[in-house]
Amino acid sequence: MRTPCTLLALALALLPVGCRKSSGSAGSLTFAFVPSDEGANGCSGPDQAFAPVQTPAAVPLGTLVVDPLSQVTASATAETLYATGASATLVAIDVTNPAAPVETEVLTAAGTAIANELAAFGIVAAPQLSGVAVLDSTSLLVVEHTSNTLFLVGSQVQDFAVLFAGQPNTVPGFADGPALGPGAARFSFTAPTQVAPLADGSILIADVGNHAVRLFNGGSVFTLSGTGSPFFADDSLDQAGFDSPAGLTVACSGALLIAERGGNGFGHRLRQLIPGPPSPFGGLTGDVTTRAGQGLDATMGGDGTAAFLGAPVSPLATDDQDTYWLDSSDGILRRMRGMADTVDCPLWNDCTEAVTMGGNFSPASMGGALSLTQTPAGVLYVLDGAAGTLFQVTP
């Protein structure tokens, strides 16, 4: 799937081009991922000041109907959220005044725009949307589950959607190649997942069903790391193993942080992928390590790998070096901070209290996904698929 020539070209494309507080540089001979300035994909927004015990507030909604696959993301340039909903809808939510949000339908009910595209490939099953990301000032990317593909959606015009990457197929697949056309790349979007656009136009993709991190670059899709089967291994990019990587965020250091939801005997960790320089023999070098979690499904505080994570999803790295995510097993907001990578449960006095009191959001056992984002003003929001509710976390 990966050849030395294609990976060398990919490595050259990952040279830092300027990042909010990025520490990567060509002079250090280490390449760095650079998040897009348009969306909340990492290295974005301030750290939070919590006042435990802190209860999130439901945001009143009228247009958006949240379903179990729903996900949310924020613009990095305005107090605007984009959320996927029931019947393959997509809604823009102006939360300048969270008490009275203004909703605008981007994709209307029944997902007609995407359904029409899929019909050309003989797919008649109703489309289902999950992950959403801001690509640029006029475009969004969404993950379409029925066809295991990515769609480009116009954010400024209603019901504009075109196939962006992947060979539409109701049967998941795992193949690198051109994003579109003959021999197109294949994905396995078997659970809610995230995509993260980069400043150079590349896009990181959490291919949850293939237990891999993929990357769109120059019109093609590459497997950055992961073998297609679930297992755990901290190692070089071509040897590392993942179990259901569902979430991605880019730290200001240029490292990629990956939330492993787990479920196949591994996972329940926050992993870190650091790309290195091109190998003199061709190919992209780099390493995957574990930042937090022991691989056991539980919510417990601690430093780094001494902490326990319960099916973490939707990580978010701030521009002040904190990282947040949601433990979907228990419906609890988590945070990692400081030189020791101390992991806690910031809405509660401690994680024991959080677990005892049942957390703040619906656990995965209730059948819905959780999604976390932060607006430029530093307001955290959680979309709770099981509760059918958008929550404002920051007062």
pLDDT tens profile 9-38: 444 344 333 333 333 333 334 578 999 999
Topology of domain 38-392, CATH: Neuraminidase (2.120.10)
- In the chain, what's the furthest Cα-to-Cα distance? 58
Which pLDDT belongs to residue 285?
81
User: Which tokens in the block code for residue 44?
Assistant: 């974005």
- Between CA 44 and CA 58 the distance in angstroms is 24
C-alpha radius of gyration, the chain, whole number: 19
AA letter at 345: C
Task: Provide CB contacts within 8 A for 211, sequence distance 6+.
Answer: 226, 227, 228, 229, 230, 231, 241, 242, 243, 244, 245, 264
Which pLDDT belongs to residue 112?
85
Which pLDDT belongs to residue 249?
98
**CA 348, 352, 356 angle in degrees (round to 5)?**
90
Which pLDDT belongs to residue 320?
86
Which pLDDT belongs to residue 276?
85
Burial tier of 16 (Cβ tally within 10 Å: 0-12, 13-18, 19+): buried
Which pLDDT belongs to residue 5?
37
Tens of pLDDT along 180-224? 999 999 999 999 999 999 999 999 999 999 999 999 999 999 999
| Average pLDDT over the chain, rounded to an integer | 91
Share of the chain above pLDDT 70, in %: 91
Question: Which stretches does DSSP call E strand in 261-379?
Answer: 269-278, 284-292, 302-303, 312-317, 323-327, 332-337, 342-344, 370-374
Q: Is 44 helix (H, G, I), strand (E, B) or coil?
A: coil
Which pLDDT belongs to residue 30?
56
Residue 282: pLDDT band (50, 70, 90) is low
- Between CA 195 and CA 333 the distance in angstroms is 20
Specify the DSSP class assigned to residue 41: S
Mean pLDDT of the 354-376 span = 96
In this predicted structure, the answer to whether residue 319 has a pLDDT above a threshold of 80 is yes
Tens of pLDDT along 40-98? 989 988 889 999 999 999 999 999 999 999 999 999 999 999 999 999 999 999 999 99
More confident residue, 103 or 17: 103
Q: How far apart are the first and last CA of the chain?
A: 48
Mean pLDDT of the 237-244 span = 96
Tens of pLDDT along 105-155? 999 976 688 999 999 999 999 999 999 999 999 999 999 999 999 999 999
For residue 114, give the nearest of 68, 71, 154 by alpha carbon.
Answer: 154
**CB-facing half-sphere around the CA of 106: CA atoms within 13 A:** 28
Share of the chain above pLDDT 90, in %: 86
Which pLDDT belongs to residue 110?
67
